């Protein structure tokens, strides 16, 4: 399964009638992410501030940042897919210009995830934005 872009996800989420279906869609998106090998799940790649374990690696390829992520929780893996749809394979300038708060608002996400998951989501976004800022220097 190809990971849809952020606008496709907004359109797809709007299609579902209830949050049970939306959660299943988000979980299915997470299953489309290849994840990381056990060897790649090192403490230095662990994202601080997440309730579940989240690992992230990044690299710059032809001016675009590529992210690989993994989590030990299926719903978090799905939330990571939402973030990747917004940020993966983008230039640092595109990452910094993307309205992530508007994206999450359109998905109506923060009203439907726990505060601790919301904090974790913000930690992941913060780490990605910090990487993008450091890549523009």
Catalytic residues: 50
> Which run of H or E residues covers position 65?
strand 64-71
Angle at 50 between CA 123 and CA 88, to 5 degrees: 50
- Rounded Cα–Cα distance for residues 37 and 106 (Å): 33
Q: Where are the alpha helices (DSSP H) in 32-99?
A: 74-87, 92-97
Contacting residues for 31 by C-beta, under 8 A, at least 6 apart: 1, 74, 77
Q: Cα–Cα distance between 121 and 25 in angstroms, integer?
A: 18
């Amino acid at each position: 399964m190809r990971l849809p872009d952020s606008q496709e996800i907004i359109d797809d989420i709007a299609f579902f009638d209830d949050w049970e279906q939306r959660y299943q869609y988000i979980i299915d998106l997470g299953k489309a992410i290849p994840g990381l090998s056990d060897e790649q799940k090192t403490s230095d790649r662990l994202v601080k501030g997440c309730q579940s374990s989240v690992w992230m690696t990044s690299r710059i390829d032809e001016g675009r940042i590529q992210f690989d992520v993994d989590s030990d929780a299926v719903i978090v893996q799905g939330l990571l897919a939402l973030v990747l749809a917004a940020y993966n394979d983008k230039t640092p300038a595109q990452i910094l210009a993307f309205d992530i708060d508007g994206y999450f608002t359109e998905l109506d996400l923060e009203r439907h995830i726990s505060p601790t998951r919301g904090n974790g989501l913000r930690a992941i976004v913060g780490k990605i934005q910090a990487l993008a800022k450091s890549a523009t220097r």
